[in-house]
């Protein structure tokens, strides 16, 4: 069969690549054409556009590139019609993909499947109308989304979470001891406080300085920063120069495996940290903290922002967001999870509950099997 996939960022490239590989295992005649990235290209098929030509984040960048965005949408629609795939598979990236879904549904008889749901349960819940109208099947990687969509009379397929697969695969192949890891990265023998300050420059700028200040008094431990892909090493220098912070590149999972605790900016990293059973504090600063705090209280439809707490349905990890993210608050929580055994044990029990809720590895394979079965 012919599969047309559309992703808009690095995480989508990763997840779509795994899905494509799983589809190949189930369908020896699989052909791929996609808006995607290097990982998808490695699996095979024809890349129409790289996601880097699509990914504009934030109000001003989007506004400045509207003409390019609309041109890419127009080209994508034309290309889908010309290639006549058996299915269009959308991966997250709702601003672009829901527009494509609307067109494909209205103008063709090609089925539209969505892998990794847009996070409309957090805000923009009104988009459920578009999804119900334009998306034939939705494959979710977050278990709580099943109840959300059932509430809207739109049944979906929970296939498991691919992050479980990624962590499990890493653990199978990784054998480096703590002493080898520290020696290979120029670290000393102290325990590690891992710093995961986000994947974008603005996030790093907003979060990393306070993370460092909060962790500095804990001099029995060393601070190790996980560098984000696509961020130049020099960018970190202005934040860590002279502060005793080491940086590791391309070793986030190894760092989480060996860390005693972690300060983590919200995102998939919070779930990855939990899957490594590493106690954490979720830190998300913003320059307009009071405004964001108001929006969190009155606009967001969910009680938490970290995937850990959303999946658990309760506060497993402390979320220090907007106006509550202060150096003092981070230090207090860091002290608790480093030195209070009961607090660590409570968090680890919460992690085990999350792992049970997520279910076993194999999300891409289950999604691929379900897609092929539904296509008949």
pLDDT of residue 95: 86
* pLDDT level of residue 200 (50, 70, 90 thresholds): confident
CATH code: domain 166-358 is 3.40.50.2000
Residues constituting the chain: 376
pLDDT at position 298: 46
Q: Using one digit for the tens of pLDDT, what is the confidence trace for 294-324?
A: 555 545 556 788 999 999 999 999 999 888 9
Partnered with residue 140 across adjacent β-strands are 158
pLDDT for the residue numbered 145: 96
Domain 2-160+360-375 classification at class level: alpha beta
Model pLDDT, residue 9? 85
pTM (predicted TM-score): 0.89
Separation of first and last alpha carbons in the chain: 11
Higher pLDDT, 376 or 132: 132
Average pLDDT of the chain is 91
261 near 278, Cβ under 8 Å?
yes
Q: Which of 302, 270, 297, 301 is nearest to 283 (CA)?
A: 270
For residue 302, what are the CA distances in angstroms to 143, 267, 299, 310?
A: 15, 15, 9, 8
The domain limits of the chain are 2-160+360-375, 166-358
Write down the pLDDT at residue 229.
81
Tabulate helix, strand, coil % of the chain (nearest 5): 55, 15, 30
* Residue 199 pLDDT: 84
pLDDT of residue 294: 52
pLDDT tens, 104-153?
999 999 999 999 998 898 878 989 999 999 999 999 999 999 999 999 99
pLDDT in tens, 17-56: 999 999 999 999 999 999 999 999 999 999 999 988 765 4
Is 242 a residue whose pLDDT tops 60?
yes
229 vs 231: CA distance, rounded Å: 6
pLDDT band, residue 79 (cuts 50/70/90): very high
Answer yes or no: same fold for 2-160+360-375 and 166-358: yes
CA distance 44 to 21: 9
Report the pLDDT averaged over residues 230-254: 94
């Amino acid at each position: 069969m012919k599969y047309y996939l559309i992703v808009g960022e690095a995480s989508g490239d990763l997840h779509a690549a795994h899905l494509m590989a799983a589809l190949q295992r189930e369908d020896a005649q699989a052909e791929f054409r996609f808006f995607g990235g290097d990982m998808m290209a490695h699996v095979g098929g024809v890349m129409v556009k790289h996601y880097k030509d699509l990914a504009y984040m934030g109000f001003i960048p989007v506004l400045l590139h509207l003409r390019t965005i609309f041109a890419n949408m127009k080209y994508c629609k034309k290309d889908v019609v010309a290639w006549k795939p058996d299915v269009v598979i959308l991966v997250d990236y709702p601003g672009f993909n829901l527009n494509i879904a609307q067109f494909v549904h209205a103008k063709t008889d090609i089925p539209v499947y969505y892998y990794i749901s847009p996070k409309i349960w957090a805000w923009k819940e009104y988009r459920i109308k578009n999804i119900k109208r334009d998306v034939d099947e939705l494959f979710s990687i977050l278990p709580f989304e099943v109840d959300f969509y059932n509430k809207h009379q739109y049944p979906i397929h929970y296939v498991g979470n691919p992050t479980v697969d990624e962590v499990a695969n890493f653990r199978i192949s990784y054998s480096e001891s703590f002493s080898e890891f520290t020696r290979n990265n120029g670290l000393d023998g102290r325990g590690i406080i891992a710093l995961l300050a986000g994947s974008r420059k603005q996030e790093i700028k907003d979060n990393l300085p306070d993370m460092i200040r909060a962790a500095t008094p804990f001099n029995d431990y060393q601070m190790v920063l996980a560098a984000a892909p696509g961020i130049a090493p020099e960018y970190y220098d202005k934040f860590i120069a002279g502060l005793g912070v080491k940086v590791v590149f391309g070793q986030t999972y190894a760092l989480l495996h060996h860390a005693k605790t972690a300060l983590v900016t919200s995102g998939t990293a919070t779930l990855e940290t939990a899957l490594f059973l590493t106690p954490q504090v979720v830190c998300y600063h913003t320059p307009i903290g009071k405004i964001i705090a108001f929006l969190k209280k009155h606009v967001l439809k969910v009680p938490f922002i970290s995937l850990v707490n959303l999946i658990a349905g309760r506060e497993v990890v402390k979320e220090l967001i907007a106006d509550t993210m202060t150096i003092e608050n981070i230090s207090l929580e860091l002290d608790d999870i480093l030195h209070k055994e009961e607090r660590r044990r409570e968090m680890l029990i919460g992690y085990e509950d999350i792992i049970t809720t997520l279910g076993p590895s194999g999300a891409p394979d289950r999604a691929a099997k379900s897609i092929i079965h539904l296509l008949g």
